[in-house]
Amino acid sequence: MIRRLAVAAGLVALALTLAGCEPTTPIPTPSPSALTGTWHHGSDVLTLDSDGTFSLSGVPLGVVEQKAVALGGGPSGPNESVTGTWSVGSGGTDAGGAPGVQLDFVSPRKIGFDYGLTLIVSDDYPFKLYVFLGRPDSNIRYSFTRTS
């Protein structure tokens, strides 16, 4: 009997430990209207229009390719400009389930090896849109902040 109680107590402790490892609330996905507007990173400009189109200008190629940078460094490559369509969806597995904004390139159709870019939506307000530069565990982000 004592052994059964010890095993049951151990299982309860394990269940409580595992429950603490899971997020308690999902990250809310914003509506497209909550993301529509003009976003900046320095002189880079991202415009998300309510008709589902976007324009992005002045962004370094290293951002589109999400290349790793040294701590305190910046992305490399020539500045790129692109237009296309956007939608709200998943930020991908690197984002841990966070919502994302999928940019699908139309003109030019391809930058480097990429036909699009997914920006992760931050879980704080006001929202920020960002990509990781390099591995997500480096936590080096290239963020856009809405200005209008």
Q: What pLDDT digit, counting tens, does each position of 22-35 carry?
A: 544 566 788 999 99
Q: What are phi and psi of 74, to 5 degrees?
A: -125, 165
Q: What pLDDT digit, counting tens, does each position of 33-60 carry?
A: 999 999 999 999 999 999 999 999 999 9
Q: Specify the pLDDT at position 15.
A: 44
Whole-model pTM: value is 0.79
Count Cβ atoms below 10 Å from residue 140 Cβ, excluding itself: 19
25/123 Cα distance (integer angstroms): 12
Environment class of 98 (CB within 10 Å of its CB; exposed 0-12, middle 13-18, buried 19+):
middle
39/5 Cα distance (integer angstroms): 58
85/71 Cα distance (integer angstroms): 32
